[in-house]
Amino acid sequence: MYESADSFYEESSLLLRFFTGFARLLLFPISILNFVALPVGAIWLCVLGYWKLVILAFLSSFLSPKIIGLVTLPSAGLQVAAAKTIQGQRSSLRWFLCGLLLTGSYYYFALVFGAWGLISFSYIIRSASANALIPSLLLAFAVGIWPEQAMADMKNPSIQENLCLLCGITEMVAMSILRLLHVGELRWYLLVCVISIMIFVPIQVWIAWIGLKQVASSAADELFDDSMETRG
For the segment 161-212, what is each residue's pLDDT rounded down to a tens digit?
A: 878 888 998 999 999 999 999 998 899 999 999 999 999 999 888 888 777 7
Looking at the domain assignment, is residue 228 inside a domain?
Answer: no
Name which of 31-35, 84-88, 204-208 the model is least confident about: 31-35
pLDDT at 47: 93
Q: Has residue 228 got a pLDDT over 50? A: no
Looking at the domain assignment, is residue 161 inside a domain?
Answer: yes
Q: Has residue 70 got a pLDDT over 50? A: yes
DSSP character for 185? -
Looking at the domain assignment, is residue 19 inside a domain?
Answer: yes
More confident residue, 7 or 188: 188
Looking at the domain assignment, is residue 217 inside a domain?
Answer: no
**For residues 163 and 203, what is the distance between their CA atoms, to the nearest angstrom?**
8
Q: Has residue 217 got a pLDDT over 80? A: no
pTM of the model: 0.79
**For residues 138 and 36, what is the distance between their CA atoms, to the nearest angstrom?**
9
CB 38 within 8 A of CB 139: yes
Looking at the domain assignment, is residue 79 inside a domain?
Answer: yes
Residues of the domain holding 143: 2-85+92-210
Mean pLDDT of the chain: 80
Looking at the domain assignment, is residue 229 inside a domain?
Answer: no
Q: How many domains does the chain have?
A: 1
- Look at the alpha carbons of 124, 128, 130, 136 in this order and tell me if their dihedral is positive or negative: negative
Share of the chain above pLDDT 70, in %: 75
Name which of 20-29, 35-44, 125-134 the model is least confident about: 20-29
Looking at the domain assignment, is residue 224 inside a domain?
Answer: no
Looking at the domain assignment, is residue 225 inside a domain?
Answer: no
